[in-house]
């Protein structure tokens, strides 16, 4: 059975710190792991906190031994003292002939201490699942755009028509300069048929220095109708979108997949009791690696809202374990009661065949009473490909006998 | 009410003194001028550039703001962007029942704001002696 190449790196130690403007590595995927010339989907998360409320923590995603920063991927955030903050990335990157490492780095604006709570990178070799425009649809928009109150589609896929039975994964990403600090800056993940699938928004705190990046997700079975998928930024604070990216992946290319998504708000139990926001229970037909991604949006509603989350899996029937066992954190700094904070966390790990393997994304409320979780979901798919893999790209097909 | 709290000072020099003492870095009028000059260097996309080339030029400028040699400019840019930051709950509560605060009450509001937003900086300066006497009022 053919597999899609998936690479993963994490650091969940909470022990990596930066206390100067020098960049410190958090986690890395070695150059030798990659396939030369491969078109890679990169998704990364970096959760950090900073010990100063007036300085910034800084994050970037780079490639190469002499680091080259991905487009617009040098970010910074101001937080409350030790307030946690998650930034996320999504890139499509074609590895050069001599492959390059990919890594997350952190630094500080001065001698303040920026601490990595957890960082993670996952890379999927898209060449293994087919060409753009067949099993996945991608777009990015790198033209700076000053947002207005009404959402405007920026990154937008070509039109595609699901068959009405296949499960799809949709991901939207935006990097932006907050510019103003008096209004939320957000974006919708927008389906031209179904409308808004999910969104996130947050008010800026430092108009000069805050540069942020976030991801939102949706998984499900789209109807059999032609559609486009887009990222639609909006703000009244003069915020500038530096980059937006969107991808739709037909999960039927994988041998197995499972998905759950609900837009209904969830009011998690008070700590220490966890409430499940989303759950899936795939039954692997063979023992092998799976990718799973949990995601949700925290609707703060009040400045004191604070939650913890965890991602648990029962990989072999031995019981639920947290994996990744990241410090079960979530962004705590709300700059406006209208903030809606996106969180995602993912993993690559083996699931044994023989029974359903539960995967749960849970949350518990640490502080506040009116905070909620909205647009929660979980997606899991095997790295094993369906039917031995996708059809070859047109350019590599053998000519038909007798043609031409 | 403004979204940010801004102390006022007898002179521009007093303002720079306040910021220098708060941040522990000497800020001069030349630093202000240098920041204005650096802002003018912020890249704009040229027709001959790809988006990636423009992104890289912008990154170099943006990360350059954190160069320790530009620390004074960094501090001034913070002030330029949001003064002492968004009004924090303690300061807001303090001022909520004082529609016409006197100077002492305004200084107390500044202190409460500093305690919330600049706690790490206050640890190394005597606010009552070295900062608050420079404050003549607030705009908020």
Query: What pLDDT score was predicted for residue A334?
Result: 81
Residues A63-92: tens digit of each pLDDT: 999 999 999 999 999 988 888 999 999 999
Residues in chain A: 404
Mean pLDDT across chain A: 94
Rounded to whole angstroms, how far apart are CA atoms A380 and A325? Answer: 17
Query: What pLDDT score was predicted for residue A303?
Result: 85
CB B115 within 8 A of CB B93: no
Question: Does domain A256-386 bear CATH number 3.30.70.1350?
Answer: no
Q: Look at the domain A6-126 and name its fold.
A: Jelly Rolls (2.60.120)
Interface test with B, best of A20, A21, A52, A54 (most B CBs within 10 A): A54
* List of chain B residues whose C-beta atoms are within 8 Å of the C-beta of residue A175: none
Residues A294-306: tens digit of each pLDDT: 999 999 999 889 9
Mean pLDDT across chain B: 95
Rounded to whole angstroms, how far apart are CA atoms A265 and A374? Answer: 4
Smallest Cα–Cα separation from A176: which of A150, A196, A153, A201? A201
| CB-closest option in B3, B63, B68 to A74 | B63
CA distances from A143 to A3, B8, B45, B59 (A): 36, 39, 9, 15
Q: Which residues, including other chains, have CB under 8 Å from residue B10's CB and lie 6 or more apart? A: B134, B136
Chain A residue whose CA is closest to B23: A54
* List of chain A residues whose C-beta atoms are within 8 Å of the C-beta of residue B120: 51-55, 81, 112
Can you say how many angstroms the Cα of residue A183 is from the centroid of all Cα atoms in its chain? 24
Is the pLDDT at A402 greater than 60? The verdict is no
Any chain A CB within 8 A of the CB of B80?
yes
CA distances from A244 to A119, A171, A173, A216, B96 (A): 21, 11, 5, 12, 41
CB A89 within 8 A of CB A173: yes
DSSP assignment letter at A227: B
Cis status of the peptide bond prior to A324, with omega within 30 of 0: yes
| CB-closest option in A53, A107, A206 to B82 | A206
| SS3 readout for A31-45 | HHHCCCCCEEEEEEE
Can you tell me whether residue A27 is helix, strand or coil? Answer: strand
Can you tell me whether residue B92 is helix, strand or coil? Answer: helix
Any chain A CB within 8 A of the CB of B55?
yes
pLDDT band at A404 (very low <50, low <70, confident <90, very high): very low
Cβ-based burial of A334 (10 A; exposed 0-12, middle 13-18, buried ≥19) = buried
The alpha carbon of residue A224 is apart from the nearest alpha carbon of chain B, in Å, by 35
Where in chain B are the domains? 6-139
CA distances from A145 to A215, A234, B81 (A): 18, 10, 20
Query: What pLDDT score was predicted for residue A387?
Result: 81
Query: What pLDDT score was predicted for residue A335?
Result: 83
Output the CA torsion B105→B106→B107→B112 (10° steps): 90
Phi then psi for A360, rounded to 5 degrees?
A: -125, 140
Any chain A CB within 8 A of the CB of B12?
no
Where in chain A are the domains? 6-126, 130-252, 256-386
Give the mean pLDDT of A210-238.
97
Give all strands (DSSP E) within chain B, no chain letters: 6-8, 137-139
Is the pLDDT at A49 greater than 90? The verdict is yes
Domains A130-252 and A256-386 share a fold: yes
Two structure tokens written together for B82: 């949001």
Give the mean pLDDT of A274-287.
98
Task: Please report the ipTM that was assigned to this predicted complex.
Answer: 0.93
Residues A307-357: tens digit of each pLDDT: 999 999 999 999 999 999 998 666 667 888 899 999 999 999 999 999 999
Residues A324-334: tens digit of each pLDDT: 999 866 666 78
Q: Look at the domain A130-252 and name its fold.
A: Jelly Rolls (2.60.120)
């Amino acid at each position: 059975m053919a597999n899609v190449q998936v690479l993963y790196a994490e650091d969940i130690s909470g022990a990596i710190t930066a206390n100067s403007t020098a960049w410190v590595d958090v986690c890395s995927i070695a150059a030798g792991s990659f396939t030369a010339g491969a078109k890679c989907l990169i998704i990364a998360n970096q959760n950090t906190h900073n010990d100063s409320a007036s300085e910034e923590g800084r994050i970037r995603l780079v490639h190469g031994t002499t680091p080259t920063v991905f487009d617009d991927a040098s970010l910074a955030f101001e937080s409350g003292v030790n307030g946690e903050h998650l930034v996320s990335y999504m890139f499509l990157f074609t590895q050069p002939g001599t492959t390059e490492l990919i890594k997350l780095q952190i630094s500080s604006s001065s001698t303040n201490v920026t601490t990595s709570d957890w960082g993670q990178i996952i890379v999927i070799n898209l060449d293994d699942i087919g060409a753009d425009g067949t099993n996945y649809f991608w777009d990015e928009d790198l033209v700076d755009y000053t947002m207005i109150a009404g959402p405007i589609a920026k990154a937008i896929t070509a039109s595609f028509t699901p068959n009405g039975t296949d499960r799809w994964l949709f991901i939207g990403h935006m990097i932006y300069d907050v510019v103003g600090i008096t209004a939320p800056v957000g974006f919708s993940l927008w389906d031209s048929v179904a409308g808004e699938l999910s969104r996130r928004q947050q008010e800026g705190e430092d108009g000069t220095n805050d540069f942020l990046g976030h991801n939102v997700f949706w998984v499900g079975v789209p109807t059999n109708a032609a559609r486009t998928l887009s990222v639609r930024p909006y703000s009244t604070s003069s915020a500038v979108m530096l980059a937006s990216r969107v991808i739709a992946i037909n999960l039927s290319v994988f041998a197995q997949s499972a998905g759950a998504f609900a837009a209904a708000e969830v009011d998690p139990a008070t700590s220490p009791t966890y409430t499940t926001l989303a759950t899936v229970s795939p039954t692997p037909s063979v023992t092998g690696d799976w990718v799973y991604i949990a995601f949700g949006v925290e609707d703060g509603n009040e400045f004191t809202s604070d939650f913890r989350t965890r991602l648990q899996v029962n990989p072999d029937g031995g019981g639920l374990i947290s994996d990744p066992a990241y410090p079960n954190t979530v962004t705590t700094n709300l700059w406006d009661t209208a903030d809606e904070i996106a969180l995602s966390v993912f993993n690559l790990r083996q699931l044994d065949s023989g029974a359903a393997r539960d995967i749960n994304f849970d949350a518990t409320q640490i502080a506040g009473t009116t905070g909620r979780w909205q647009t929660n979901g979980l997606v899991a798919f095997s790295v094993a490909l369906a039917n031995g893999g996708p059809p070859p790209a047109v350019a590599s097909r053998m000519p038909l006998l007798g043609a031409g | 009410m403004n979204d940010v709290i801004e102390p006022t000072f007898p002179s521009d020099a007093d303002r720079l003194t306040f910021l220098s003492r708060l941040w522990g870095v000497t800020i001069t009028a030349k630093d202000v001028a240098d920041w204005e000059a650096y802002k003018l260097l912020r890249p704009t996309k040229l027709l001959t550039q790809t988006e990636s080339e423009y992104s890289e030029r912008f990154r170099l400028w943006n990360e350059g703001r954190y160069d320790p040699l530009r620390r004074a400019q960094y501090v001034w840019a913070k002030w330029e962007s949001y003064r002492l930051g968004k009004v924090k709950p303690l300061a807001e509560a303090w001022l909520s029942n004082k529609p016409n605060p006197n100077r002492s009450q305004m200084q107390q509001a500044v202190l409460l704001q500093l305690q919330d937003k600049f706690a790490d900086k206050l640890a190394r300066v005597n606010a009552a002696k070295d900062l608050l006497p420079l404050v003549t009022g607030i705009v908020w």
